[in-house]
Each structure stands twice: as structure tokens, then as C-alpha cells.
């Protein structure tokens, strides 16, 4: 990847809504060039999508949980088949293979506690290869995608100093 593409990625990962004009000005290049590079990043599958980071208030009608899943890896495929199967459920918003006490770390979203619990019991736990699950309901958000939810009070600088 070129340095310019890396720089564009860094900026978009901080603020996906940054205008093409601002990116171009920051990197001392032309908007058309930035436009083209972003298209390439999308086409090559390096940028897969854009999403918003929202406050707890904005997702009051949702319950989110982390599910720790222990699975039986398969010969040849390892964890890939089961991970891809679990990723297909629309309730599952993230799937990672992790090191440690369990294998797959899922993030699941539902309308209520009951909704998530039902999904885990009737969909996840009974999958072939799933040995056990542990459900961790998320209670309060403090930081997500690098953004702190309770911003510390901005210290007031003097308006003008030499």
C-alpha cells in the first residue's frame, strides 16, 4: 500500500465523514486523487464499510452482549467454518478468534435481554462444534472505536498568548 493510501486510511479511521477536500488539503494533494484512492481502497477490499459510533442513549432499544464461545476445531479447517457460520447470523455484529480461555469472541445485539438469551440458547449453543458459551451483557459504554463517551472537561486556555 502506498504511503498516501495509508495516510488516507488513518484519517478515515479517525473520522469517516472527513470531506475529500479536507483530506486533500491535509495531505497536500488534489481532491480527485483522494477520490480515486478511496475508490481503490474500497474496490480492493481494504475499506469494507463505514459506520457511526453512537451514544448509549442512541441505542436504548438495544441490548448488546459479548459471548465467549469455546468450540471444537475441525481437522484442516480449524476454527474457520464454525466462525463463518456464526458470523452469518444478523444478530452477531462481530466475530474474532482470540487467544486465551475460549476461542471465539462474538458481539451480539438484540432487542432485550430475553431476546439475546434466546438467541444464545436456541441458535448458538446448539451449533455443531460449540462446546460452551458465556454471555457477558454490556451495561455501560465508556469508550468505543477510540472515542470516550464522557469527554473530560476541556481545559480553557487563555485566548491569546505569545
Partner 1 sequence: MRDSTSPHNWVAGHIAALPKSGIRDFFELVNSMSDVISLGIGEPDFATPWHIREATIYALHRGFTHYTSNLGDLRLRKAIVNYAQDNFGLSYSPQNECIVTVGVSEGLDILMRAILNPGDEVLYHEPCYVSYSPTIRMAHAVPVPVQTREEHDFVLEIADLEAKVTPKTKALLLNYPNNPTGAGLTDADRQALADFVQRHDLLLISDEIYEELSYVPRSASIAALPGMRERTVVLNGMSKAFAMTGYRLAYALGPAAIIDAMMKIHQYSMLCAPALSQAAAVEALQHGSAARESMRVEYEQRRNVIVKRLNDMGLRCFLPRGAFYVFPCIQSSGLSSYEFALQLLQKKKVAVVPGTAFGPCGEGFVRCAYATAMDDIEIAMSRMQEFLAGK
The span from the CA of 33 to the CA of 37, in Å, is: 6
Pick the stretch among 22-30, 36-44, 64-72, 100-108 that binds partner 1 (CB under 8 A). Answer: 22-30
Q: Which of 79, 77, 119 is nearest to 95 (CA)?
A: 79
7 vs 107 by CB, closer to partner 1: 7
The whole-angstrom separation of Cα 104 and Cα 109 is 16
Looking at residues 99 to 158 of the shown chain, list those that interact with partner 1 (rule: CB under 8 A).
Answer: 152, 155, 157-158
Residues near partner 1 (CB under 8 A), total: 13
Distance CA 122, CA 125 (A): 7
Q: What angle (nearest 5°) sits at the alpha carbon of residue 152, between those of residues 150 and 157?
A: 150
> Given candidates 1, 6, 13, 26, which one binds partner 1 under the rule CB under 8 A?
26
Q: Does 61 bind partner 1 (CB under 8 A)?
A: no
| Interface with partner 1 (CB under 8 A) | 22, 25-28, 152, 155, 157-162
Amino acid at each position: 500500500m502506498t504511503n498516501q493510501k495509508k495516510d488516507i486510511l488513518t484519517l478515515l479511521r479517525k473520522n469517516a465523514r472527513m470531506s475529500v477536500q479536507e483530506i486533500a488539503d491535509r495531505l497536500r494533494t488534489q481532491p480527485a486523487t483522494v477520490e480515486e484512492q478511496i475508490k481503490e481502497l474500497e474496490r480492493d477490499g481494504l475499506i469494507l464499510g463505514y459506520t457511526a459510533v453512537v451514544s448509549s442513549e442512541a441505542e436504548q432499544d438495544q441490548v448488546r452482549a459479548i459471548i465467549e464461545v469455546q468450540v471444537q476445531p475441525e481437522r484442516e479447517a480449524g476454527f474457520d467454518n464454525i466462525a463463518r457460520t456464526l458470523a452469518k447470523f444478523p444478530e452477531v455484529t462481530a466475530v474474532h478468534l482470540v487467544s486465551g480461555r475460549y476461542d471465539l469472541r462474538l458481539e451480539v445485539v438484540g432487542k432485550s435481554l430475553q431476546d439475546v438469551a434466546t438467541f444464545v440458547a436456541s441458535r448458538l449453543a446448539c451449533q455443531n462444534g460449540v462446546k460452551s458459551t458465556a454471555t457477558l451483557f454490556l451495561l455501560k459504554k465508556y469508550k468505543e472505536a477510540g472515542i470516550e463517551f464522557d469527554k473530560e472537561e476541556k481545559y480553557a486556555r487563555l485566548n491569546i498568548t505569545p
